[in-house]
Amino acid sequence: MLRIAIDGTASAGKGSIARGVARELNLPYVDTGSMYRSIALMVIEANKNCHDVIDVLSVLDDVQFDFTWKSDELETWLNGRNVSSKIRSKEVGAMASVVSVFPPVRSCLSALQQSYAKRESLVMDGRDIGTVIIPDAELKVFVDADVNERARRRCEELQRKGENVLVEEIRQDLMERDHRDRNRAIAPLKQAEDAKLLDTTHMTISEGIKQIVGWVELVS
């Protein structure tokens, strides 16, 4: 079995690299960030308070996820609905970081993620994959980049989607998100002791994919 656990900070290229590695190695891919974003979307659409754990838990009944490829794009399906575009908005991203701190939410989604990892080889990315979800993964990678570069990338991504955002605004959002992720009581964002660090500040997505595939060859 080959399970690749990829953790890291927001907008460091983690998701794009993980998807590329999965395609390169022909492995199933689980995007845990999309799972938390989907919960945040449900909270928003139900007009619930994302800071109230009771409100958040009220949308968690019978949640089902599917990840499918359409050409080179990964689609996220929530309860049979394609939410791939909706969960990538700035609002949903901010909400996801808030709802993910609630232990019952993490417990629910963590159980799902661990069930995936017990069944088959896969690539899974998120914030606590190598430390909590698959601590015995065959390969662990922590992806990071300078916050200024991450802000520039995220700003360009949102602007391409027609959102009116500023780099400094995004930078502040990322710093706040990093703080929440690294300091939450349950499963904080951190590099596992045996994880390899992938600094993407001056690296392209394809270079990041190539590096991880090279590491896979060493552990296979």
pLDDT at residue 219 in the model: 82
Lowest mean pLDDT segment, chosen from 26-30, 69-73, 106-110, 138-142? 69-73
Which of residues 94 and 210 earns the better pLDDT score?
Answer: 210
191/189 Cα distance (integer angstroms): 7
pLDDT at residue 158 in the model: 87
Give SS3 for 82.
Answer: strand
pTM of the model: 0.85
Question: What are the residue ranges of helices labelled H in the chain?
Answer: 14-25, 32-45, 53-57, 90-99, 103-119, 147-160, 167-183, 205-219
pLDDT at residue 181 in the model: 86
Q: Where are the beta strands (DSSP E) in 56-110?
A: 65-70, 73-78, 81-82
- pLDDT category at 36 given cuts 50, 70, 90 is very high
Token pair 């090279």 is at which residue?
Answer: 214
pLDDT at residue 71 in the model: 78
Give the model confidence (pLDDT) of 107-156 as tens digits. Answer: 999 999 999 999 999 999 998 999 999 999 999 999 999 999 999 999 99
Give the model confidence (pLDDT) of 112-123 as tens digits. Answer: 999 999 999 999
pLDDT at residue 185 in the model: 80
Give the model confidence (pLDDT) of 174-211 as tens digits. Answer: 999 899 889 888 788 999 999 999 999 999 999 999 99
What structural domains does the chain harbor? 3-200 (3.40.50.300)
